[in-house]
Structure 1
Amino acid sequence: MRRILVPTDFSDQARNAFEVAVAIAQKTGAAIKLLHVVEMPSSYSFSATGDLVGGNGMEQVYMMKLLENTRYRMAELERTIAHQGVEVVQEVDTDNVIRKIKRVISDDKVDLVVMGSKGSSGMDEFLIGSNTEKVVRTAACPVLTVKGRMPHFNIRNIVLASDFKREIGSAVEKFKYFQHVFGAKLHLVYINTPGAFESTNTLRLRMQTAAERYGLQNFTINVYNDTIEEDGILHFAEEMKADLVMMATHGRTGLSHLLSGSIAEDLVNHSNIPVLTFHLK
């Protein structure tokens, strides 16, 4: 792992994400980019010399003051989190948040995005979702979402939830890397629900076959019964005292996403345990 991206909106959750990113960087030798995106009206742009173009005089003064204050807050954020031995660079830009994050992932060849998640529920969740969910759905690299503060981020138990039917090989290699870096134990789990019930023997055989195919080590095989997949994953992870939940996501969008939702995005919204997702292409 060489590059970690931490988008920040200066919330407590984003600060927690930066703290976790530093802990990962100290173990892997990765550099961190702190990114804040200011969404400005489309009438604004920057000239070749970096001057703000667009709007009237007062609007330009306001926007320049906003950018100046943002850069000050970025410097303060970096200063308040100890990051000995970790290279941290800052970037403040004006763009659409999701578009800019996707561009940085591509241009900088980012290996991991670490983001804070506030979570949401009810109508707010249905209507707008969050930037974190959108990144989970579309990012070309793994995304680690963090809510609470974890000053001593250390992974000992990892839950890997899957149906073990679809090919998840590209995601498993990313997940195995995390397990190796932290020397953690991996707990494979299939959530057996009433609507898609299968016998325990059949499921355990499928999971064992998948574990052998992917070359997994230091793992357990678990079948957990619950009413819906998301609740089952959360309940199992809590029982295992998991430090991390990992899932591959197929990143459904549009009408398909609205009708069927995404278990990975639901977990990001509702789990207090960090969630590592990887979007399968």
Structure 2
Amino acid sequence: MKKILVPTDFSTCAKAAENYAFMLAKKIQAELIFIHVVITPVDWTKLTKEQENFFPDTKIAISKAKDQLNELVDQAENEGLSARKILVYNDGNEKIHKYVGAEQIDLVVMGSHGQYGFRDHILGTNTYSMLRRADVPVFVIKENNPKVELENLVFATNFNEETGESFRTVEKLSELFGIKLKVLFVNTPTYFMETNDIMNIGKSYLKDFGNYAYDIHIIDAFKEERGILQFAEKSKADGIALVTSGKSDLIQYFSPSVTENLITMTDLPVISIRKSKI
């Protein structure tokens, strides 16, 4: 794992994600790539220097963004890390999730206020768009994140075979960062199962997709989100990891994923692993 992408708008929310990314990068000596999007009234890349003068406010915003990106790169280098910056001019058509593939990114760390709004959710904020489309792990960090380290991680799963490859990704992350992984099954009234059945399915799942022996934790709750949060608090977890299906924006609005719901409900870091296409 060599490259960490950090989208930022330089807000206090983004600052929390930046700090978290620094912590992760130091553990594995990864390169930090800071990316910022400047909203432009036209396609900025097609303007001449003279034409740029017609948009003085945009020129100021670009200059300020360059300075702030340079400060982040300087900070990283002063802390012994490799870093670089990407400034994106966005006239409404640019999507930053495409840079994950283009830059061969290994994981993304980004901030979120974790608030739903009808217009924002239909259009898809950068964070939710990244969750649904990125093929690498996405760490979502809230402004009030209470954790400065990642030592105990809850992985909530239904032991569905389709998520097996994604579990392997989570396990690799735990190995890389020295994380203690806690496997959780939330037993809800809607999909109620007897404990023996859960244990048998879970053991088979871990045998097929895991490299280590894990205890299987079971908690009863009316909703998956409620059970995950209760267990995370009880186990003093530093973060929560889940497999995200990556539904389209419209479908997600009418049926939000558990991952997105959790982001609105907790200040803990939430790690989204998109379901692998196998």
Q: TM-score, normalised by structure 1?
A: 0.88
The root-mean-square deviation of aligned C-alpha atoms, in Å, is: 2.6
CA deviations over 1:48-99 (Å, ceiling 9, x no partner): xx845867x432x332222111111222344566852211101212026894
Q: 1:16-165 residue pairs with structure 2 within 5 A?
A: 16-41=16-41, 43-47=42-46, 51=48, 57-59=53-55, 61-79=56-74, 84-95=79-90, 99-121=94-116, 130-148=125-143, 153-165=148-160
Over the matched positions of the two proteins, sequence identity in percent amounts to 29
Distance 1:188-1:87 versus aligned 2 partners, 3 A rule: same
SS in 2 for 1:58: coil
Match of 1:12 in 2: 12
Whether the aligned pair in 2 keeps the contact of 1:44 and 1:53 (CA below 8 Å) is no
CA deviations over 1:15-39 (Å, ceiling 9, x no partner): 1111111111112121010010112
CA deviations over 1:104-139 (Å, ceiling 9, x no partner): 111111000000111114757765663212211111
Structure 1 range deviating more: 262-271 or 145-154: 145-154
CA deviations over 1:179-207 (Å, ceiling 9, x no partner): 11232221111111111111011011111
Whether the aligned pair in 1 keeps the contact of 2:43 and 2:91 (CA below 8 Å) is no
Distance 1:119-1:244 versus aligned 2 partners, 3 A rule: same
Amino acid at match of 1:268: I
Match of 2:217 in 1: 222
Q: Check if 1:232 corresponds to 2:227.
A: yes
Amino acid at match of 1:8: T
CA deviations over 1:227-246 (Å, ceiling 9, x no partner): 11111111111111111211
Instruction: Quote how far apart the aligned CAs of 1:262 are.
Output: 0.6
Match of 2:180 in 1: 185
Instruction: Quote how far apart the aligned CAs of 1:159 are.
Output: 0.6
* Distance in 1 between residues matched to 2:75 and 2:81, nearest whole Å: 14
Structure 1 range deviating more: 182-191 or 214-223: 214-223
Distance 1:21-1:35 versus aligned 2 partners, 3 A rule: same
* Distance in 1 between residues matched to 2:49 and 2:268, nearest whole Å: 42
SS in 1 for 2:21: helix
The counterpart of 1:205, out of the listed 191, 200, 222, is 200
* Distance in 2 between residues matched to 1:161 and 1:83, nearest whole Å: 37
* Distance in 2 between residues matched to 1:169 and 1:181, nearest whole Å: 19
SS in 2 for 1:219: coil
Match of 2:255 in 1: 260
* Distance in 1 between residues matched to 2:151 and 2:181, nearest whole Å: 9
* Distance in 2 between residues matched to 1:215 and 1:116, nearest whole Å: 30
SS in 2 for 1:272: coil
Structure 1 range deviating more: 83-92 or 7-16: 83-92
Q: TM-score, normalised by structure 2?
A: 0.89
Whether the aligned pair in 2 keeps the contact of 1:245 and 1:275 (CA below 8 Å) is yes
* Distance in 2 between residues matched to 1:35 and 1:66, nearest whole Å: 15
Whether the aligned pair in 2 keeps the contact of 1:37 and 1:100 (CA below 8 Å) is no
Amino acid at match of 1:58: F
Structure 1 range deviating more: 211-220 or 66-75: 211-220
